[in-house]
Amino acid sequence: MDRRLRVALAVVLVVLLVAAGAVGVAFYRFVQPVPESYSHTAEYRAYVQPDATLTNVTLYLPVPVENGTSPVGDALASGPPGAVDVPPDWSVSVADTASGPMLAVSVPKLEPNYRERPPPRPVTPGGPTDTPSASTPTLAPGTTPIRTLDYYLVHVELAFDEPIDTRSPVGSEPVLAPRANATAVECDLPGSGDRVCRRFGTRAFLSYDASANTTVDVLVTYEARNDWFAGGWTGNSFRQSTGVVVAGAGPGWVAATGEEEVGVGTYRGAPRARVGAVAVPGE
């Protein structure tokens, strides 16, 4: 082979190796976690859905608790409007019960919450077949709206200054309480080796006057998560939920089953969680 050709090939090879190295370094840096992107948040929701009128309503609902305190409950009781969503005529506080701190909700009268929407437009040959959109909210003369029973929502979002322990939150993070007799169960969907599912016992207090054929559906959910950017947005979380459906007047204390998933998501590049994180409503 001609000497000049060998030299040219060697130069090309060196250039390719340098370029590949530069691309590799750039890719490695791109997929590394960006410290400024870390966020640590939690979201609590309590849904109440009566299908008939309730009066003299008092509810004690499970709420996340750690060491006898509830950042979620405190935020719901006194948090800023931008972080808290509570129906305007509801009174919300944290009550000390025999089962520990719980979210106390009281309202003099609670009507069924219906949502109305226009019915689908009839299909005509050669005409449009889509249903009405947000740009056509009014009803045509002579039509009857479709009524759907909706829920009332108590909602708050929190931001934490420190990473959340989403693998083993019990004992280190606020978790739904009351809580008893937690048992590992098989997860509904396959996941990573960090994912664990459990069921636990809990309870709620439901007091109100209602007719015998009234049904009330109550659902509580809580999710806490860490998010960050590492070549794309990623994160990990744990989530919990519990609910009851009761008929007639409020029965008082009722037992319920809670469900939780911990270790959901990825832990590669995750910040190390520290016990004692401080919650800041709405930030």
pLDDT in 10s for each residue of the chain, 283 residues: 566 666 555 555 655 555 555 444 433 344 454 667 789 999 999 999 999 999 999 999 999 999 999 999 999 988 666 678 899 889 999 999 999 999 999 999 999 998 877 776 666 655 555 555 545 456 556 667 777 899 999 999 999 889 999 999 999 999 999 999 999 999 877 665 578 999 999 999 999 999 999 999 999 999 999 999 877 788 999 999 999 999 999 999 999 999 999 999 988 877 776 544 444 333 3
**What letter represents residue 77's amino acid?**
A
Categorise residue 18: left if φ over 0, alpha if ψ from -120 to 50, beta otherwise: alpha
Tokens matching residue 149: 């029973």
Q: Is residue 11 part of a domain?
A: no
Length of the chain equals: 283
Is 0.85 topped by the overall pTM?
A: no
Q: Is residue 108 part of a domain?
A: yes
Residue 207, domain extent: 40-113+147-281
Q: Is residue 25 part of a domain?
A: no
Tokens matching residue 146: 């479709």
**What is d(CA 124, CA 127) in angstroms, rounded to the nearest whole number?**
5
Number of domains in the chain: 1
**What is d(CA 98, CA 65) in angstroms, rounded to the nearest whole number?**
14
Whether 221 contacts 239, CB under 8 Å:
yes
Q: Is residue 6 part of a domain?
A: no
Q: Is residue 96 part of a domain?
A: yes
Q: Is residue 129 part of a domain?
A: no
DSSP 167: S
- The gap from C-alpha 221 to its chain's centroid, in whole angstroms, comes to 6
